[in-house]
Structure 1
Amino acid sequence: MDPFFKYHVFFCLNKRAPGADRPSCANCNAEAMQEYAKKRVKQLGLAGPGKVRINKSGCLDRCEQGPTVVVYPEGTWYTYIDESDIDEIVDSHLANGKIVERLLIDR
């Protein structure tokens, strides 16, 4: 059976209070990066059924390695800093199927 999306991408947007025991992705500009990725995927014509879906997520429980994004169906975990990292994930992985080794959480 074919998956509905070629790639289903989840950005952790979990927010914890200042001083919490664990970091949170929302405090690392995750919401803006998720919105940027969604816009970029649409601009490139990669969005939609059979293609790519960019979603928001609650805590993905990889807080200390974040901010985090996971790409399914293969379960590839990334971290990122800025829009250039998002561009690389979109251009390399989502557009061309090539994993961005330097941004992997599980190396």
Structure 2
Amino acid sequence: MKYEKHVFICTNDKVAPKKCCGSERGMILVNLFKEKMKEKGLNKTMRAQKTGCLDVCAFGPGMVVYPEGVFYGNVTPEDVDEIIESHLENGIPVERLRLPE
């Protein structure tokens, strides 16, 4: 496998009335994850990228970390460091942001 972990952040935009991740900071989160992962040298073994709808619109912005398949919701820029340190570096999902399976 090329990457140990893959972070997909929804950037989907759709017409109202549904909430959508794209207009709720999706690309801001993608760029922050990329920047901070590169600063820590994680970009060699892990990848963050934008994706289309993850079907967790009500909890957006949403994201998922593979290979574990852990979904997070209502992610803010302030949460990025915690997700990187806890989940990506130490393998411990951030329970307060984790969406139920």
Same fold (TM over 0.5): yes
Give the whole-Å Cα distance in 1 for the aligned partners of 2:77 and 2:24: 12
Query: What residue is the counterpart of 1:94 in the other structure?
Result: 88
How high is the TM-score relative to the length of structure 1?
0.87
Q: 2:40 aligns with which of 39, 44, 57?
A: 44
Give the whole-Å Cα distance in 2 for the aligned partners of 1:87 and 1:75: 19
Give the whole-Å Cα distance in 2 for the aligned partners of 1:81 and 1:99: 13
C-alpha RMSD over aligned residues: 1.3
Q: 1:9 aligns with which of 3, 7, 10?
A: 7
Give the whole-Å Cα distance in 1 for the aligned partners of 2:47 and 2:96: 23
Q: 2:76 aligns with which of 72, 82, 107?
A: 82
**Structure 1 runs not aligned, ≥5 long:** none
CA deviations on 1:5-63 (whole Å, 9 max, x unpaired) are 1101100000113xx24210011111111100110000001112xx2100110111111
Q: Contact (CA 8 Å) 2:8, 2:51: kept in 1 or not? A: yes
Moved more, 35-44 or 58-67: 58-67
CA shift, 1:82, in A, is 2.3
> Cα distance 1:44–1:91, how it changes in 2: closer, same or farther (>3 A)?
same
Greater CA radius of gyration, 1 or 2?
Answer: 1
Q: Which SS does the other structure have where 1:103 is aligned?
A: coil
Give the whole-Å Cα distance in 2 for the aligned partners of 1:8 and 1:28: 21
